[in-house]
Structure 1
């Protein structure tokens, strides 16, 4: 049975918050650029827990999803003590991968960073082979969240 992609809903969004810790800042008190990737992961993990597709869910089905590409675009700095809002956006694709986009805002609702990560499915049970087809559990998840027609 072949499933068609819906044209209505192509993205699923989750919003979470993180407080900037002292250890994440440089000597000027601003967040070191490499820590934004960690904030992306914080948002992705919160997304996964909320929508039932966490790393533990993937592991339970015998898969891991390593990141094969990441990008960031810095606009404004975050500083120690700031509370940042992470908007994590799952972007649907017909390929066997997970694409997430991110928007990070400061407490004044100013956009400070955007980015994207791409993850692929790797079989944890065998040799760690790349899955060229969407795993059944992920197709079921897409259907459950309304990304596929019945």
Structure 2
């Protein structure tokens, strides 16, 4: 069976917590942008950056959970019958991260890109959209720097 509830819980809940930690208040703004009738170009650009942070967060949590699974797996090397199932469970966390990225985050990213393309065809020149994206990236980088300054022990 390809389902392990504790691993799925760790990856999904941990990924959401890491995403919230990386992107902060931009996560609710992303959902408001996805449901808005006429989102602004800056909201679309910020949404894409928030999704980029979410993808990174889910993959990092999946990898950390895999490493934790490997540590637990190598602690029981005296029992070779448990090695294979433990390896499968540890690798399932990467599968769960990939599924969250593929089915949830990628579909949101595609929706934002389609809306951004439609909006840019109607009202914006590409240089304005690039400026908005650049400003959004700088804002996200500033948030990351502030987060690192507040908690240097975690980096």
What TM-score, normalized to structure 2? 0.30
Given the two structures, how large is their TM-score scaled by the length of structure 1? 0.30
The structure in which a higher percent of residues are strand is: 1
Which structure has the larger Rg over C-alpha atoms? 2
